[in-house]
Amino acid sequence: MKTALATVTLSGTLPAKLEAAAAAGFQGVEIFENDLLQYEGSPADVRRMAEGLGLEIIALQPFRDMEGMPEPYRSQKFRYLQRKFALAHELGTSRLLMCSNVSPHASGDREQCAADLHALADMAAQEGLTLGYEALAWGRFIADYEDAWDLVKRADHPNLGINLDTFHMFARGNTLDCLRDEIPVDKIALVQIADAPIMQMDVLQYSRHFRCFPGQGDLPVVDFVRCLQDKGFNDYLSHEIFNDEFRSSSAKEKAVDGMRSMIWLQEQASQKEPEQASEITDIEFVEFAVEGDTGEELIGLLNQLGFRETHRHRSKNVSLMRQGDINLILNREPESQAHEHFQRHGVSVCALAFASSNLKSTLARADRYHLQRFEHQAGPGELNIPAIRGVGDSLVYFVERNGAYRFFDIDFVPVEAEQEQLGLQRIDHMGQSVAKTDFLSASFFYKSLFDFDIEPSQDLPDIFGLVVSRTAKSANGRVRIPINMTDAREASPQRFIQRSKGAGFQQVAFECEDIFKAAAGAGPENLLPIPANYYDDIEARFALEPAFVAKLKAHNLLYDLSEEGGELFHFYTRETHGVFFEVLQRTGGYSRYGEANAHIRLAAQSRQYALAQA
Kindly write down the DSSP assignment for every residue of 10-62, as one continuous string: S-S-HHHHHHHHHHHT-SEEEEEHHHHHH-SS-HHHHHHHHHHTT-EEEEEEE
pLDDT band per the 50, 70, 90 thresholds, residue 382: low
Structural domains of the chain, with CATH: 2-269 (3.20.20.150), 280-414 (3.10.180.10), 424-613 (3.10.180.10)
- Cβ neighbours of 16 (radius 10 Å): 15
pLDDT at 254 over 90: yes
What gap in Å lies between CA 256 and CA 20, rounded to an integer? 8
State the average pLDDT over residues 541-561. 97
Strand 318-323: give its sheet, edge to edge.
373-374, 387-389, 395-400, 348-356, 280-289, 326-331, 318-323, 308-313, 412-414
Secondary structure of residue 537 in the 3-state scheme? helix
pLDDT at 419 over 90: no
Any binding-site annotation on 400?
Answer: no
Peptide bond into 493 cis (omega under 30): no
Report the pLDDT value the prediction gives residue 372, as an integer from 0 to 100. 85
What gap in Å lies between CA 433 and CA 557, rounded to an integer? 24
Report the pLDDT value the prediction gives residue 245, as an integer from 0 to 100. 86
Any binding-site annotation on 245?
Answer: no
DSSP 8-state class, residue 212 = B
Report the pLDDT value the prediction gives residue 232, as an integer from 0 to 100. 94
Please report the sign of the dihedral spanned by the C-alpha atoms of residue 7, residue 8, residue 11, residue 12. positive
Dihedrals phi, psi of 346, to nearest 5 degrees: 75, -165
Report the pLDDT value the prediction gives residue 271, as an integer from 0 to 100. 64
pLDDT at 531 over 80: yes
Report the pLDDT value the prediction gives residue 42, as an integer from 0 to 100. 95
> Which residues, in sequence order, are bridge partners of residue 568?
560, 586
- Cβ neighbours of 122 (radius 10 Å): 13
Any binding-site annotation on 71?
Answer: no
Cα torsion for 27, 33, 37, 43, to the nearest 10°?
Answer: 50
Report the pLDDT value the prediction gives residue 515, as an integer from 0 to 100. 97
Q: Which amino acid is at 566?
A: G
Any binding-site annotation on 487?
Answer: no
Q: Judge residue 359's burial from the number of C-beta atoms within 10 Å of its C-beta, 0-12 exposed, 13-18 middle, 19 or more buried.
A: middle
pLDDT band per the 50, 70, 90 thresholds, residue 614: confident
DSSP 8-state class, residue 348 = E
DSSP 8-state class, residue 595 = G
Q: Which amino acid is at 107?
A: S
State the average pLDDT over residues 29-58. 96
Q: Which amino acid is at 61?
A: Q
> Which residues, in sequence order, are bridge partners of residue 558?
570
Looking at beta carbons, which pairs linking 487-493 to residues 24 or more positions away fall under 8 Å?
A: 487/436, 488/462, 488/464, 489/464, 490/464, 490/465, 490/606, 491/462, 491/464, 491/465, 491/466, 491/467, 491/602, 492/433, 492/462, 492/467, 492/602, 492/605, 492/606, 493/433, 493/434, 493/467
Q: Among 190-194, 209-213, 230-234, whose mean pLDDT is lowest?
A: 209-213
Secondary structure of residue 132 in the 3-state scheme? strand
Phi-psi region of 42 (alpha: psi -120 to 50; beta: other; left: phi over 0): beta
Q: Judge residue 496's burial from the number of C-beta atoms within 10 Å of its C-beta, 0-12 exposed, 13-18 middle, 19 or more buried.
A: buried
Percent above pLDDT 90 for the chain:
83
What gap in Å lies between CA 447 and CA 432, rounded to an integer? 15
With residue 318 as reference, give the H or E element that holds it. Answer: strand 318-323
What gap in Å lies between CA 402 and CA 383, rounded to an integer? 15
Secondary structure of residue 605 in the 3-state scheme? helix
Report the pLDDT value the prediction gives residue 134, as an integer from 0 to 100. 97
- Cβ neighbours of 453 (radius 10 Å): 14
Encode pLDDT of 7-21 as tens digits. Answer: 999 999 999 999 999
Q: Among 124-133, 411-420, 484-493, 507-516, whose mean pLDDT is lowest?
A: 411-420
With residue 410 as reference, give the H or E element that holds it. Answer: helix 407-411
Peptide bond into 380 cis (omega under 30): no
Encode pLDDT of 169-204 as tens digits. Answer: 999 999 999 999 999 999 999 999 999 988 877 888
What is the reported pTM? 0.88
